[in-house]
Structure 1
């Protein structure tokens, strides 16, 4: 009989913040690290420790104990402390595609700084589901094994795992395959990541311990190598482990007990893997479970955090990084150090217990500050990049017209049009001239000469403007003290048309007397009825209950009853939604709403709807007692209160000229607890599946869950959008930070997007009240309704959805010569069914790198054109390393074939 090997891997799973505030955890981390270093120094038989796959633990420790850096580096170099590959252990579905990549990049970067060999394991010990493209991402980083605790076998209360061998994989080892075909070895913590914790030294206790643990591990292991994880959440170091291992060797001579590490364990497992391993494909979301413990509703806990995160991620990866890359082309150094700081600060909010909103209130208060810090640094990068670019844009086309030029930048990666607003200074006077109150008094009554907006060819563009009086401002010169001033200003709104991807368009405000014949631009209103709007592509009618009737003029298809609101009771917790047994959600269908037209210009119309609704004030008193008694949420009997409170919802429907979507902005005044609010979009389509934007893919998911599913809800994660199509027509709902949706089983395939969820406790293993998770007060939501022909990929509607959250940048300039034309694109690309992901400078090579991914499950062509500064193309990867050269059609254009579902990174010298 072949001898079994028990691989005991010491670790601690370090939730940086969770059921205690960050600094409580921080103090315990310092104590743990001190003990670890002492143990490594004292006990040469304590072979190694796995630092939870996240390098941020080193930063957090050295913040308090900087004098210990030398010892840390010593043990990392000796491979007694194993670090990487991540910066933090993220929630994979609530952080963007590029945030997952930056996490991997910065984890590798930090590992090199400590001089260590990276732990080449894709470590996902407690992610609440695993992204389908993880194998492809890992393989591109030279990692061919993933360790995970959830997503494949059902995990229940207290992390009890099903032993049903008929499930997706009979073994803890399996092959995990991405949509592109990339494959890694997947290893499930089938007995959780604590099955080797607190190994006894006492012989009698050790016999009982190992007689249970060894068979438990053998049930799932496909090889003779058994994994025992010596640690758990915030588990202190077992300082007598060496002695405990010697005791185990004495008591069980037929088992080879070794103090191991993941690299050694995986190497041994790889040698013995059987040929009959099962292959699991794509997303691992616990689809084949009863659905009660997927933790999916963390996607809607404290939605304000998800919205702040979406804004921050978009600003970093879709605005600041490409803009800084453009500025680099213009000669400005790329601020890698500032980007690393901004990303790290943002990613400190990305651990699963943080971004999931499933911690105590103190944790999430601190997250708001981090979001603001990251955002402010990113805004500084944006402003510095614009300050570098604007003087190099040639605006002499407006010379001699008393023009006030301004430039509109589009960094979304797709050509787009949109309404922008800019504050223009017509006159500026510095404090050095007179006291500011004197300046304001003198400037305020000065009349504003009527004007018009023109483009660089002198064509007039429809605009709206208003006199905005006098404004305070200041300059921060690089060579002198700050320079405060007062300025005479106007506010201008204009629709910027067809701005190229990665480009800009320069416009100018000029007096009507200077514009001449160009000032005759005219366009009809978009308002076609009392509460009806229409442009070239869409007809939208706001009905008496506030719902939207939308006609796609391109196909003639009509969608009725869109954007009805639903309110349901929630007696669950921050992890999981649970509607009270037997209760029925309330809706605004047929509830009379107030409607009014609040904006009507040549390029935009807005209808505002107000619902003066009433909903239950909370759950009844039973819920509080069930929480105190730690009754598991599926077994609760609480109902909704009979007391009602006002719930006011103000909705704004916006239709722009030339737009293929209707944008929706919602403001809710929430006075109620223990409930969930969703917007409903009945598609009316016959379809068995739908698609949702996920990490580097548009994931196809079943509308009806698997037969094992018992949870009445089938909520799921989304990134930018969810879409349903019957093949001929499709409806897509894009969003900003609204990460939870469900396609309802109501014979209408209704898309239900969560706008607000209120809950009063953390949940999990005890009672931790979270009153701030009730999200009382003002809550907002932004989303967009996009009808189209066919599905979201074939129709190209995905570009509309991806562009929706990305803001235009508008900045005033002056008339001057420059190296770049007034209207310009820094690069261009084409690719049907291909999505843009990022554009930035690589830190190690100094080259520009851009990333796309193929949304189709078949090959697609990608063509990229660069300006004259480029001297060559090469294939890169998610770590942005230089790979094989790519032949170009000419000096500035390269054509590539992307494989099915491929994530493709292009390096440009």
Structure 2
């Protein structure tokens, strides 16, 4: 007899805490949703409600404790399923890999603390695509099952609605695409849809899951839906089983069946959210690094100065940051007041992190011996690798000291002179302060102290670079500025005479007829016309660097670009400031590396992925690489979150300007209407271009990108005696292709948590050196995310899950 498969019904609410409304309105609406869900349980004993979202539960706990108590009782009875193991349903491209780790860590912790249980599943039904490293992150967070809705069947062909989704390291979760090729979701005719879906059951060879309820603004499953399901259950003539279900029970039933596998990104075609609202995306990245820096500094201060680790303050800041990663917030798909709220919340995160950071660092620098000639500047590198980097610093003179406009000398603690260049201070009050740039080596997770003297540096250090109004040159490269658009016209390698890049950072404007999500278009339109150069001038020229600033205009908009070439190095950087007043257009910066048969690689959260060389708009992390047989070019950015690659040309998206909250499949827009447009006003960002021999992995591109996005920190100290040395490093790592990302205190105890990521897809032998516990050796598997727990009072070290539990716990 042929196997009888089933269509199982999971009652839920797809709830957007922010979208076309703000969080306070959502808070009011969700209470009635939950009351309705509880009423359905009383009316239908078999009904099960599947929902969880920690910040939403916190709203209920604060505004209606009695209602929260009822929810807790239903969870204990098994009638309310905690179906989402993350903090919110986030966008799955923009954030860092660590943010997705924290979604699980803090989401699961909340459920355990409040309901005495965790979720084995993760609902992310409305997010716009899912990065390839998620199965490993989910698996190591105790999450076995993943339910998503996008990409739809029309956007991406998958083996079926149910498949085993695999990360490059081999970790996997069972994933289910609701709607589409499975069974319809959030339908108002459940019975009819179930009959139609049942004919597919023999083809799939497994049961189907049907979600029902009310979507977006709230709303529990209705009495009408309950009646339709009961009618199905009573139908003895149907060829399939039907029952109310928990989501985890549905997946448990599928174990042991022949489930197809898929390894790769789950990518949508609606690309608007990849680049909408560049400000909220950039603020997210700044906040992520700020929190991870604060954690590291907090550990240093605890170990060295016995200052309590600010666990509660850090956790609250992470909660805020994770909330802002909700897909409609960080995707720029919400209304203007919601974007304003997000900016304020990011400000709270960044300020909280800054307070922890500077209190922690200065608790250490106060004990450094700075009793030398000159004004001390302590420079911190909170990246877990040694760096040689340009450092910008600024010292105050008046009124503590005499006003001073003269030359400066910078020396390290051993008296060695570091060439420096005086640049424009952030204020415009000459003699009040001095700002300068110099290049120095800094240790991994450590600091060095430099001393600034009011005297002329040695004459050889004063030699300027070769530069003019439209050319920059050092001993490695010659840069020519385009006199039409103000971009870089060419970068020539001096040793070979080869042009290694043409039209770098060329501003390109294209027509963008898409709605907020770009649901209604397949891509951007034709070029809307060129920028026109207004001016090009030499802004800086000295022994450290030369800078040319260009200004160019398009329509009612302008772009100002600084092109920076450093002496005796291969560092080429750019800064841009856009004054944007266009609508229904997209702005890109284009880089043409002149590479044949290109291979395209892009960073993704905690990894990288190979992509096709097409003009399709795609999300991108901190870097994008195009490589050929013998050479390659990487563009690193702090404000690029989407791109397309046409041949070898990398087109990095700066901003796009659709109408906010506009869905084109509703009524057409009024041509005379007054609308809010995305990304109007000033937008700023930075980029760096790296040339290599064709293998980005050998060039340590992830480390370079991390340093670019997480620059060094300066602390202006006073002269004083101290017990601490002038230079120091707290942790050193010797690795070929692994990077240490996290150093924090565990949530439940005082163990040290260290996280490492292997990025090149090869086995790596890693040595960590710290005191205590000393030297630690370990092996990283290809693409592995590894978490370690260290007892700082003994040499004990344990591998752990992403929930900070030793091996043998969920995910191991």
Normalising by the residue count of structure 1, what TM-score does the alignment of the two structures yield? Answer: 0.79
Partner of 1:760: 659
Matched, 1:681 2:591: yes
Secondary structure of the equivalent of 2:556? strand
Compared with structure 1, are the counterparts of its residues 321 and 587 closer, same or farther at alpha carbon in structure 2 (3 Å cutoff)?
Answer: farther
Q: Tell me which structure has the larger Cα radius of gyration.
A: 1
Q: Structure 1 CA distance, aligned partners of 2:203 and 2:121? A: 20
Secondary structure of the equivalent of 2:438? strand
Partner of 1:247: 231
Q: Structure 2 CA distance, aligned partners of 1:227 and 1:212? A: 14
User: Conserved in 1, the CA contact under 8 Å of 2:152 and 2:180?
Assistant: no
Secondary structure of the equivalent of 1:650? strand
Pick which of 460-469 and 118-127 moved more.
460-469
Kindly state the Cα deviation for residue 239 of structure 1 after the two structures are TM-superposed. Answer: 5.2
Which residue of 425, 434, 437 maps to 1:491? 434
Q: Structure 2 CA distance, aligned partners of 1:316 and 1:366? A: 20
Q: Deviations over 1:609-629 (max 9, x none)?
A: 111x33xxxxxxxxxxxxxxx
Matched, 1:175 2:160: no
Partner of 1:433: none
Partner of 2:128: 128
Q: State how 1:710-729 maps to structure 2 within 5 Å.
A: 713-729=615-631
Partner of 2:249: 264
Kindly state the Cα deviation for residue 132 of structure 1 after the two structures are TM-superposed. Answer: 0.6
Compared with structure 1, are the counterparts of its residues 326 and 682 closer, same or farther at alpha carbon in structure 2 (3 Å cutoff)?
Answer: same
Q: Structure 2 CA distance, aligned partners of 1:519 and 1:822? A: 24
Q: Deviations over 1:80-114 (max 9, x none)?
A: 22224100110110111111111111101111111
Partner of 1:734: 636
Q: Structure 1 CA distance, aligned partners of 2:137 and 2:246? A: 23
Pick which of 355-364 and 571-580 moved more.
571-580
Partner of 2:295: 321
Pick which of 498-507 and 301-310 moved more.
301-310
Matched, 1:284 2:263: no
Secondary structure of the equivalent of 1:377? helix
Q: Structure 2 CA distance, aligned partners of 1:109 and 1:768? A: 45
Partner of 2:341: 366
The unaligned stretches of length 5 or more in structure 2 are: 792-812
Q: Structure 2 CA distance, aligned partners of 1:375 and 1:539? A: 39
Matched, 1:303 2:278: yes
Q: Structure 2 CA distance, aligned partners of 1:555 and 1:338? A: 55
User: Conserved in 1, the CA contact under 8 Å of 2:744 and 2:754?
Assistant: yes
Compared with structure 1, are the counterparts of its residues 24 and 860 closer, same or farther at alpha carbon in structure 2 (3 Å cutoff)?
Answer: same
Secondary structure of the equivalent of 2:676? helix
Compared with structure 1, are the counterparts of its residues 405 and 583 closer, same or farther at alpha carbon in structure 2 (3 Å cutoff)?
Answer: closer
Q: State how 1:446-465 maps to structure 2 within 5 Å.
A: 452-464=409-421
User: Conserved in 2, the CA contact under 8 Å of 1:462 and 1:521?
Assistant: no
Kindly state the Cα deviation for residue 76 of structure 1 after the two structures are TM-superposed. Answer: 2.5
Compared with structure 1, are the counterparts of its residues 90 and 466 closer, same or farther at alpha carbon in structure 2 (3 Å cutoff)?
Answer: closer
Q: Deviations over 1:510-535 (max 9, x none)?
A: 344xx9xx866724222345533234
Secondary structure of the equivalent of 1:348? helix
User: Conserved in 2, the CA contact under 8 Å of 1:722 and 1:732?
Assistant: yes
Compared with structure 1, are the counterparts of its residues 349 and 656 closer, same or farther at alpha carbon in structure 2 (3 Å cutoff)?
Answer: same
Secondary structure of the equivalent of 1:551? strand
Matched, 1:72 2:15: no
Kindly state the Cα deviation for residue 371 of structure 1 after the two structures are TM-superposed. Answer: 1.4
Q: State how 1:43-82 maps to structure 2 within 5 Å.
A: 43=43, 45-51=45-51, 53-82=52-81
Partner of 1:522: 461
Compared with structure 1, are the counterparts of its residues 555 and 102 closer, same or farther at alpha carbon in structure 2 (3 Å cutoff)?
Answer: farther
Compared with structure 1, are the counterparts of its residues 737 and 489 closer, same or farther at alpha carbon in structure 2 (3 Å cutoff)?
Answer: same
Q: Structure 1 CA distance, aligned partners of 2:435 and 2:360? A: 23
Q: Deviations over 1:275-307 (max 9, x none)?
A: xx3321121115xxxxxxx22231111212212
User: Conserved in 2, the CA contact under 8 Å of 1:421 and 1:491?
Assistant: no
Partner of 1:594: 535
Kindly state the Cα deviation for residue 180 of structure 1 after the two structures are TM-superposed. Answer: 1.1
Compared with structure 1, are the counterparts of its residues 682 and 219 closer, same or farther at alpha carbon in structure 2 (3 Å cutoff)?
Answer: farther
Q: Structure 1 CA distance, aligned partners of 2:356 and 2:523? A: 51
Q: Structure 2 CA distance, aligned partners of 1:208 and 1:194? A: 11
Which residue of 288, 309, 325 maps to 1:334? 309
Partner of 2:719: 815
Q: Structure 1 CA distance, aligned partners of 2:748 and 2:87? A: 18
User: Conserved in 2, the CA contact under 8 Å of 1:830 and 1:862?
Assistant: yes
Kindly state the Cα deviation for residue 357 of structure 1 after the two structures are TM-superposed. Answer: 0.6
Q: Structure 1 CA distance, aligned partners of 2:480 and 2:179? A: 54
Partner of 1:228: 210
* Number of residue pairs aligned between Structure 1 and Structure 2: 776
Q: Structure 2 CA distance, aligned partners of 1:557 and 1:847? A: 53
Matched, 1:648 2:530: no
Kindly state the Cα deviation for residue 727 of structure 1 after the two structures are TM-superposed. Answer: 3.0
User: Conserved in 1, the CA contact under 8 Å of 2:407 and 2:454?
Assistant: yes
Compared with structure 1, are the counterparts of its residues 471 and 665 closer, same or farther at alpha carbon in structure 2 (3 Å cutoff)?
Answer: closer
Secondary structure of the equivalent of 1:233? strand
Compared with structure 1, are the counterparts of its residues 732 and 587 closer, same or farther at alpha carbon in structure 2 (3 Å cutoff)?
Answer: farther
Q: Structure 1 CA distance, aligned partners of 2:541 and 2:784? A: 44
Matched, 1:834 2:729: no
Q: Structure 2 CA distance, aligned partners of 1:154 and 1:812? A: 57
Matched, 1:783 2:687: yes
Q: Structure 1 CA distance, aligned partners of 2:636 and 2:425? A: 34
User: Conserved in 2, the CA contact under 8 Å of 1:345 and 1:374?
Assistant: yes
User: Conserved in 1, the CA contact under 8 Å of 2:511 and 2:528?
Assistant: no
Q: Deviations over 1:831-852 (max 9, x none)?
A: 2222332222221232222222
Q: Structure 1 CA distance, aligned partners of 2:746 and 2:221? A: 41
Partner of 2:319: 344
User: Conserved in 2, the CA contact under 8 Å of 1:691 and 1:722?
Assistant: yes
Compared with structure 1, are the counterparts of its residues 734 and 771 closer, same or farther at alpha carbon in structure 2 (3 Å cutoff)?
Answer: farther
Kindly state the Cα deviation for residue 822 of structure 1 after the two structures are TM-superposed. Answer: 0.8
Q: Deviations over 1:228-266 (max 9, x none)?
A: 212242352235366554433222465443221112111
Q: Structure 2 CA distance, aligned partners of 1:207 and 1:863? A: 60
Compared with structure 1, are the counterparts of its residues 688 and 232 closer, same or farther at alpha carbon in structure 2 (3 Å cutoff)?
Answer: farther
Partner of 2:452: 509
Secondary structure of the equivalent of 2:127? coil
Q: Deviations over 1:120-150 (max 9, x none)?
A: 1133222211111112112222333322222
Q: Structure 2 CA distance, aligned partners of 1:555 and 1:98? A: 42
Partner of 1:106: 106
Partner of 1:608: 549
Secondary structure of the equivalent of 1:773? coil
Kindly state the Cα deviation for residue 794 of structure 1 after the two structures are TM-superposed. Answer: 2.1
Which residue of 495, 503, 509 maps to 1:567? 509
Kindly state the Cα deviation for residue 661 of structure 1 after the two structures are TM-superposed. Answer: 2.7
Which residue of 576, 592, 605 maps to 1:666? 576
Q: Structure 2 CA distance, aligned partners of 1:469 and 1:183? A: 50
Pick which of 53-62 and 87-96 moved more.
53-62
Q: Structure 2 CA distance, aligned partners of 1:450 and 1:778? A: 34
User: Conserved in 1, the CA contact under 8 Å of 2:572 and 2:689?
Assistant: yes
Q: State how 1:421-500 maps to structure 2 within 5 Å.
A: 421-426=392-397, 452-464=409-421, 490-500=433-443
Q: Structure 2 CA distance, aligned partners of 1:467 and 1:797? A: 30
Secondary structure of the equivalent of 1:563? strand
Partner of 1:28: 29
Q: State how 1:821-900 maps to structure 2 within 5 Å.
A: 821-867=725-771, 869-870=772-773, 892-900=774-782
Compared with structure 1, are the counterparts of its residues 446 and 561 closer, same or farther at alpha carbon in structure 2 (3 Å cutoff)?
Answer: closer
Compared with structure 1, are the counterparts of its residues 324 and 780 closer, same or farther at alpha carbon in structure 2 (3 Å cutoff)?
Answer: same
Secondary structure of the equivalent of 1:114? helix
